[in-house]
Amino acid sequence: MATLTMAESEVILAAAKAKVLEMGAKMSVSVVDPRGDLLGMFRTDGASWRTPAISRAKALSSACFERPSGDLTENAMAPVFRGLMAMEGGHMIPGQGALPVFKNGEIVGAVGGSGGTAQQDEDASKAGIDAVGLTTAP
């Protein structure tokens, strides 16, 4: 079973932070494992207090469904999705900003951003994943 290592998580976060700073955004980015457990996170100076929780919730959604969190928005009110959100204590956000991470075709986690525009959140996540040489699809 493939896993996302701590070293890989650190590379993801460093590259995502560089992208956030390049964009001039005030954001948080979280890296989670396939279950949505937090592996690492940063919050830039000036980012809102709520961005860490939102970045993790987007990442949890992406990891759980193995899809970009923005792809989940359309079905967010479906009974199964609402049930999962309730089971997770509301800690799932089906909004653009997180991407799944695959290693050798196997889900190993997700990266989610919050604080920028939805596209900036996703761009920061993608920059981190690209830097470590992993993919967003199997």
Assess if residue 17 is contained within a domain: yes
Distances (CA, A) of 115 to 3, 21, 68, 80: 28, 12, 17, 28
pLDDT in tens, 62-118: 999 999 999 999 988 889 888 888 888 878 999 999 999 999 999 999 999 999 999
Print the domain residue range for 46: 8-110+120-131
Assess if residue 94 is contained within a domain: yes
pLDDT, position 30: 98
Assess if residue 3 is contained within a domain: no
- The number of folded domains in the chain is 1
CATH number assigned to the domain comprising residue 83: 3.30.450.150
Cross-strand bridge partners of residue 30: 41, 112
- Per DSSP bridges, beta strands 106-114 and 98-103 are antiparallel
pLDDT in tens, 35-47: 999 999 999 999 9
pLDDT in tens, 106-134: 999 999 999 999 999 999 999 999 999 99
Q: Is the pTM of this model over 0.75?
A: yes
Assess if residue 2 is contained within a domain: no
- Own/partner pairs, 82-90, CB within 8 angstroms, 24+ separation: 88/36, 88/60
